[in-house]
């Protein structure tokens, strides 16, 4: 009778470990980028509703002093939100990322309202080489 092989050979195990290593080398950085993009999108979603309230308050002649004045929390899990009104009448609604991955730990999303009422969005502070993590509507400047 022939001896039947039971279990795996060393070479089969080594090939399996190598494949797992290659897949994880690709997956881990991709997952880190996914986390950073999701965090940036969440930050944008938290400050964007403030635009509507700013418009209403400015149309009513009310003074905007801080984030609470436009119904936004000053601090959330994703952002430290600030609202500034310049002497020229330009309004800035910003989200400084908090609890963020290293690539975007210094990132800031800012909605800017010009005196004429036009809104623009820009992102700053993302590490070089990772600018594509910024939301599509708020490109890195």
- pLDDT tens for 8-31 read 889 999 999 999 999 999 999 899
Residue 122, strand partner residues: 110
Three-state secondary-structure class, residue 26: helix
Band of pLDDT at residue 63, cut at 50, 70 and 90: confident
Give the per-residue pLDDT at 2.
66
Average pLDDT, the chain: 92
Is the confidence at residue 60, as pLDDT, over 80?
yes
Using an 8 Å Cβ cutoff, are 94 and 50 in contact? Answer: no
Band of pLDDT at residue 1, cut at 50, 70 and 90: low
Give the per-residue pLDDT at 66.
87
Spatial CA neighbour of 112 closest among 66, 26, 47, 56: 47
User: What is this structure's pTM?
Assistant: 0.82
Residue 85, strand partner residues: 91
Q: In what helix (H) or strand (E) does residue 112 lie, and over which residues does it extend? A: strand 108-113
pLDDT digits (tens, 9 = 90+) for 30-50: 999 999 999 999 999 999 999
Q: Which domains does the chain have, with CATH numbers?
A: 11-133 (3.30.700.10)
């Amino acid at each position: 009778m022939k001896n039947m092989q039971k279990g795996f050979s060393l070479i089969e195990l080594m090939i399996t470990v190598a494949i797992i290593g290659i897949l994880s080398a690709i997956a881990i950085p991709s997952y880190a980028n996914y986390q950073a993009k999701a965090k940036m999108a969440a930050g944008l979603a938290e400050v964007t509703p403030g635009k509507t309230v700013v418009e209403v308050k400015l149309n009513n002649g009310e003074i905007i002093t801080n984030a609470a004045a436009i119904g936004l929390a000053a601090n959330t899990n994703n952002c430290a939100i600030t609202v500034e009104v310049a002497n020229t009448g330009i309004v800035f609604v910003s989200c400084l990322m908090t609890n963020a991955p290293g690539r975007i730990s210094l990132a800031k999303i800012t909605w800017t309202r010009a005196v004429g009422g036009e809104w623009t969005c820009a992102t700053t502070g993302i590490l070089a080489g990772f600018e594509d993590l910024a939301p599509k509507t708020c490109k890195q400047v």
